[in-house]
Each structure stands twice: as structure tokens, then as C-alpha cells.
Amino acid sequence: MNHPVDIASQPPAAPAATAKKLDKLGIRRRFDLVLHLPLRYEDETHLYPIAQAPYGQAVLVEGEVTKCEVQFRPRRQLVAQIEDKSGKLVLRFIHFYPNTQQALAVGSRVRALGEIRRGFFGDEMVHPKLRAVREGEALADSLTPVYPTVNGLTQPVLRRLIHAELKALPLAETLPDELRRSLGLMPFADAVQLLHHPGPEYSATQLTDGNLPAWQRLKFDELLAQQLSMRLAYRARREGTAPVISGDGSLRSRLAANLPFALTGAQQKVLAEITADLALPHPMNRLLQGDVGSGKTIVAAMSALAAIEAGFQVALMAPTEILAEQHYLKLSAWLAPLGISVAWLSGSLRKKARGEMAASIASGEARLAVGTHALFQDDVSFERLGLVIVDEQHRFGVGQRLALQQKGAEPHQLMMSATPIPRTLAMSFYADLDVSVIDELPPGRTPIVTKLISAERRDAVVSYVNKTCGEGNQVYWVCPLIEESEALQLQTAVDTHVVLQQDLPQWRIGLVHGRMKAAEKAAVMAQFAAGELHLLVATTVIEVGVDVPNASLMVIEHAERMGLAQLHQLRGRVGRGAAKSTCVLLFETPLSELAKARLKVIYENTDGFEIARQDLNIRGPGEFLGARQSGLPMLRFADLEADIELLEAARQLAPQLLQRWPQHAHAHLVRWLAGREHFLKA
Ligand code: ADP
Ligand code: MG
């Protein structure tokens, strides 16, 4: 590339106040203005006589103001009337400024752009876009772009800034010509010019169609930048150094001999992938995916032992106290018989206990430390940390993971997730990781039967709970998620506990919710796990990781309020033992169409990946990425479902470009991601 990138990287030439607003839009460099593309287009190329203007679409009309007044009923509003030769039209403004009123002074001539509706007092336009004009003033000859903006930054200002940069900046091509042609993509400069300045031959529908070649080019470029940066991050990691960890297998075989089950083929396969990574001299960054109940914990334990055998320490971090505690109990039960000391660290430990734990981690006495994010606070240091395992990784922010990583000189990292990531997402947002998938459930599970039951039939459900407890199995009763108010959610759980206790006096019923102290929660969970409680009333705190194989029934209230991934996670708490398990989804009527569609998905599917795929269709990618999205450049133009072919093409092109045209690759990255690359290292 001969073009200097420096001009394009300069901050936009705008007064400080404007620059601040541009910054909110993510526009920090002059070139960002070029990449700030229209949301939609307005048609000001055609003037309709008022009486002939069609309904149901935005139209431009022009007339003389014949009336203008502020009315106070039913609420304060500005009502004006314009007239042309063909007819009259009311213009109504609920929000208005003095300058709107000035522009509508009786006798002035205005153009109004908006949709005409039949109002009570005749045809009207509500909040039209308004412009004072001279009679006979020329119309626009092409559609007018409308840009995403923030309060106080008007379209004309934004348009002027963008158009100035389109003229001033070199819109250099970042793809080698032969590649661009073979991919059937239009030149970059043509694409941005067209989208910012469409020719008169384009209609608004054409211009907002994602299949328009100009959009295809921009989407491709965006996806390519993402793929390039992921590959670079991947490469950088492979160039880093980490301890070579290769244990003799002695601890692992002793644990295996103590287990009441044999590892499944899928568990053995992922374990082999992990241990092979650990034995390499650069940091592992592997995502272990497995549906709920697929048995990730034992894989984590075996991986930890591989590191411990070789003389390293291991940290296992979980997102909630309940989950961390469960892991601690399970792992100590497995590891203590092998003579391995496991430390427990959480935010709720008293100062003295915490000090002792931290000391045993620092001295190296504890070979495994299990805990919440308390593990990476400043007062915790490891003697020789070799492996970090993060459970439910999507719940942690990039920063938190980085902090733990920095505790060891680049330890290996294993992240575990039960939220199945659809293939398209994995390909784009997780392309810098290696992924292992446990694609088989342990044997002997009976499939969970899901029932959808209206809340009106709660009594029948309560008798079913009674019957289940009578058969010696345990039950979860999950209270609704109340997003608006945590206090209300808590209250609901407390009330439900009271009511169920009255309905089912013969059974012991526990309660666990997010506001309880960690130790109290842990005590209740331990009682439930030990079978001392028959029924556990819980808020969604039990969503992740809890493992009580004797629980065979789960009742979820207000299931229609929960996300599909969440329902799938919750449901995965049962069906872990040999007993036939049931999940009852109680819903309130009437159900919206969307709620019906979602419940149908969870009713018909038990495979987490399929649920995730359908969920992605319904909700978009945000939820899956969790904290990851805050660190990664999100896609503005491309759509992961609709543009899967472009994504695939970008994925294939990225390594070629880096290999054979490194300068092009560099220029492309600078153009799209300048200043944001550092996030990718996380
Ligand atoms: P998750 O992947 O959801 O974290 P867990 O690790 O909690 O799943 O495992 C779920 C249950 O399956 C646990 O009770 C665990 O002991 C059991 N389990 C794991 N692996 C096997 C196996 N190979 N055979 C039988 N049971 C297993
Ligand atoms: Mg788990």
C-alpha cells in the first residue's frame, strides 16, 4: 500500500463538542466517517401533490403554511396546516422547539417528508422532517442517506463531515485485485461511494437490501478484519512460551481407578487434546464445550492432575459461589484420597481463613485452588501456577480472565462452557481459540421428559411433586425470574417456599436464593445433595453446574420469561441419575406468539446445540457472547446468520492474505480495527 494511513487515522476535523458526539458513535479517526454507513434512505427526489400522495409510505409534499398554533388538549402540541393546489395537510408535533414554530410561520413555504395518515380531522403527518424552501427549488436527484447518530448531532452536519472525507481521503483498495475479482466483490471505493451517494437509479428498497453488491463488499471487509485479527491473536499465542507440562499419568490412573464410572469416548478424546496442548511450549487457550451433564468436571479434574503430576499448581475458577463450592467439594472428594491438598477461596471467607488459604496457595502446599473471582485478587499469589481452568467462561469478563492469567507466567488456559455456541459464532468470535467438544452424554441416562403446563393447573403439579418425593426422588422448584426487581424476585421465592410448605407438610423443603450468604447457600445445597431435603425452592441461582443425581423432577414457574439457554441449563439439573426425569414448565396464559415459539423449541429439543441454533435465530448473538462481546469488535454490518457464506469466504481468505499479501492484510486491519486489537489478546 503506498497510501499513507496517517491522514486517515487523524481525528476528524470537528469542533470539540462535535468530536465528543462523534466519539460516542465510535468515530475517532477520519476514516471512521467513511465507514459510518447509512441506516436507511429518504426519498426527496419526488414531490407529491398533497391530494395524490399515497398512504403507507414516506412521501415528500410542499405547501404554504396556512395555520400554526400550539394546542393544549389532549396534551401540549404544535399543529400546523399546509396547502398546495391539490389539498390541505395537517402537520402535528408532540415534541417541538421554538425553531420548529418559526419555520412554520403562516405564509412560509415548506417541504415536509413523512407518512400521511388519516387523522380524526383529515389527513395528517406526525413529526415530519421539515425544511423551508423557495418555490420551485430543485429536488434532490438521488436518495438522501440517513445515518445513525446521537442526540445533538444532526444529519446535515454528519452528512457534510462524511462527504468531505469521501473526497479528501484515499479510498485505497485493501484486497489484491485478483482476489477481489475471484470473490466477485466490487471495489471498496465504489461500494462506499455508492452507499453514501446512491445514484438516481437506486430505490430505497434496493439500497437497504443486504444483498446489494456494495453491502456485500462492506460486510465481507468487516468479517475479513475480524478473521484476520483472530488469526493474528492465534499466531501470537502460538509464539508465546508456556511451561511444557507432561505428567507421568500416575495420579490420573489412580483417580480413574477410584471412579465409579469409566470415562466416555468423548471425554477421553477431549482429555487427549488437552494433555497434548499442555505438553507444548506455548500457552494453551482451549474452549471445552459440552452440553449440560456431559461430564466436564471430571475432564477438568483429570486435566488438573496432569499439571499437578508435573509439579504445577492449578486454579479453577467458577462464576458463582454455589458452583465454586460444588466444584470444591467434588474435586476435594476426588483428589484428597490421592494426597492432594485443595484450597478454597471465595469472597465470603473470613479474613483469617482467607489468609490461611492464600498462604497455602503461595507456599505451594495447595496444589489446586478452587474459587470464585476471589482467586485473582492481588493478595493471592501462586508458587507455580501452570494451568487455569475457567468454568462457564462466558460469564467472566475479559479483564477477569486476564487477571488470573497474569498470576502465572502465561499459564495454560482451559475454558469450559455448557452454553453451546452455534457454529457460525464459533467460527467468527472464537476463531482464536482451539475448541474441544464433548459430543456424547455418559451412558445410562434416561431422557428428560418436558411438559408444558398452564399455571392454572398448579395443583396437579403439586400432587406430582408429592408423588415424586414419595418415590424417594428429589425435586427442584424454580421461581420466576423477575428482571425488573430483585427484591420482588426474592419475595416470590420466600412466598413460594411458605406456600409449598403448607401444601406439602410431609416433606422437608429448603430455600436457596441469590441474597443468602454464601455459607447459608452452601449449607442448604449440601443438605439437598445429602438427601436431607426433599424439595428445593430456588431462584435461578441454581442454573449452572449444580449436580444432584437423585433429583428427578424440576418445576419451573413462569418459564415463558426465561431465555432458552437458561431453560436448557436449568433442565439439565435433572436427568443426571438413573431415574426417569421430568421437567415441568409452568406458563402463564395468554402466551404471546414469541413466547409460544420459544417454549415450543425447548419442548421439542433436548440437544443444546439445536436449541442454541434456534435461539440465535430468535434473539441474535449478543446473549451467547456474554462478556466476550465487550472486548471484541462487534459486527456492525454483517449478520452471522444471513451472511454465513461471506463469513466462510473471509475465514478462508484470511490465512492466504496474511501469508501472501501481508501489507494488504495490515492495511485492512488498520482500516477496520485500529486501536482495538489489544482486546484480542485476552
Ligand atoms: P457438566 O458437563 O454439566 O459440568 P458434570 O461434570 O456435572 O456435567 O457431570 C454430570 C454428572 O455425570 C455427574 O454426576 C458426573 O459424576 C457424571 N458423569 C460424568 N462422567 C461420567 C461418565 N463417564 N459416566 C457416568 N457418569 C458420569
Ligand atoms: Mg458443570
pLDDT tens per residue, range 437-488 = 998 888 877 788 999 999 999 999 999 999 999 999 999 999 987 666 777 7
Rg (CA), the chain: 31
Find all residues with CB under 8 Å of 17, minimum gap 6, and list them. Answer: none
- Beta partners for 67? 81
The closest alpha carbon to 407, from 495, 467, 345, belongs to 345
CA of 360 to the centre of ligand 2 (A): 26
Q: State the ligand closest to the CA atom of 264.
A: 1
The pLDDT value given to residue 543? 59
The three grid cell numbers given for residue 532, joined into one nine-digit string: 436431607
263 CA: nearest ligand 1 atom: 23
Whether 293 and 375 share a structural domain: yes
CA angle 398, 571, 448 (to 5 degrees): 140
Ligand 1 contact via 229 beta carbon (within 6 Å)? no
3-state secondary structure (DSSP) of residue 245 = coil
With respect to residue 51, please indicate whether it lies within any of the assigned structural domains: yes
Q: State the ligand closest to the CA atom of 290.
A: 1
Whether 75 and 154 share a structural domain: no
* Euclidean distance between CA atoms 391 and 323, whole angstroms: 9
With respect to residue 659, please indicate whether it lies within any of the assigned structural domains: no
* Ligand 1 binding pocket mutation candidate from 270, 441, 576, 606 (most atoms within 8 A of CB): 576
The three grid cell numbers given for residue 433, joined into one nine-digit string: 481459540
Whether 200 and 254 share a structural domain: no
Instruction: Please name the helix (run of DSSP H) or strand (run of DSSP E) that holds residue 379, with its range, or none.
Output: none
With respect to residue 563, please indicate whether it lies within any of the assigned structural domains: yes
Strands 40-42 vs 144-146: parallel, antiparallel or unpaired: antiparallel
Residues of the chain with pLDDT under 50: 1-3, 623, 625-632, 677-682
CA of 618 to the centre of ligand 2 (A): 26
Number of domains into which the chain is organized: 4
Ligand 1 contact via 474 beta carbon (within 6 Å)? no
Q: What CATH number is given to the structural domain containing 420?
A: 3.40.50.300
Whether 517 and 556 share a structural domain: yes
Whether 60 and 34 share a structural domain: no
Ligand 1 contact via 549 beta carbon (within 6 Å)? yes
Whether 459 and 563 share a structural domain: yes
Whether 62 and 34 share a structural domain: no
- Final residue of a domain: which of 589, 605, 621? 605
Instruction: Give residue 339's identity as a one-letter amino acid code.
Output: G
The pLDDT value given to residue 406? 63
Whether 328 and 409 share a structural domain: yes
The pLDDT value given to residue 405? 58
* Euclidean distance between CA atoms 49 and 228, whole angstroms: 53
Whether 306 and 426 share a structural domain: yes
Q: State the ligand closest to the CA atom of 572.
A: 1
DSSP string, 452-482: EEEGGGHHHHHHHHHHHHHTT-EEEEEPPP-
Beta carbons within 10 angstroms of residue 293's beta carbon: 21
Whether 382 and 283 share a structural domain: yes
With respect to residue 214, please indicate whether it lies within any of the assigned structural domains: no
290 CA: nearest ligand 1 atom: 2
Ligand 1 contact via 327 beta carbon (within 6 Å)? no
- Final residue of a domain: which of 86, 110, 139? 139
Whether 418 and 292 share a structural domain: yes
With respect to residue 358, please indicate whether it lies within any of the assigned structural domains: yes
Find all residues with CB under 8 Å of 395, minimum gap 6, and list them. Answer: 319, 544, 626, 627
Q: Within 417-563, where are the H helices?
A: 423-429, 458-470, 486-503, 518-529
The pLDDT value given to residue 2? 44
Q: Which residue has the cell 469409566?
A: 262
Ligand 1 contact via 207 beta carbon (within 6 Å)? no
* Euclidean distance between CA atoms 440 and 639, whole angstroms: 30
CA of 327 to the centre of ligand 2 (A): 8
Decide: pTM greater than 0.85: no
Kindly list the distances between the CA atom of residue 9 and the CA atoms of 159, 170, 334, 588, 675, in Å, as whole numbers in the listed order.
19, 12, 56, 54, 10
CB 676 within 8 A of CB 633: yes
CA of 300 to the centre of ligand 1 (A): 11
With respect to residue 522, please indicate whether it lies within any of the assigned structural domains: yes
Alpha-carbon 64 to chain mean position:
51
Kindly list the distances between the CA atom of residue 663 and the CA atoms of 5, 186, 201, 519, in Å, as whole numbers in the listed order.
12, 20, 37, 57
The pLDDT value given to residue 104? 93
- Final residue of a domain: which of 384, 408, 438? 438
* Euclidean distance between CA atoms 265 and 263, whole angstroms: 7
DSSP state of 299: H
The pLDDT value given to residue 517? 80
What phi, psi does 512 have (nearest 5°)?
Answer: -140, 130
Return the beta strands (E) in 304-411 as ranges.
313-317, 342-345, 368-371, 385-390
**175-214 burial string, b = 16+ CB within 10 Å, else e?**
beeeebeebebbbbeebbbbbbebeeebebeebeeeebeb
Instruction: For residue 388, count CB atoms less than 10 angstroms from its CB and return exposed for 0-12, middle for 13-18, buried for 19 or more.
Output: buried
pLDDT tens digits along 404-430: 556 656 789 999 987 767 667 777 767
Instruction: For residue 526, count CB atoms less than 10 angstroms from its CB and return exposed for 0-12, middle for 13-18, buried for 19 or more.
Output: middle
3-state secondary structure (DSSP) of residue 545 = coil
With respect to residue 631, please indicate whether it lies within any of the assigned structural domains: no
Whether 433 and 500 share a structural domain: no
With respect to residue 663, please indicate whether it lies within any of the assigned structural domains: no
Where in the sequence is the domain holding 368, given as residue range(s)? Answer: 250-438
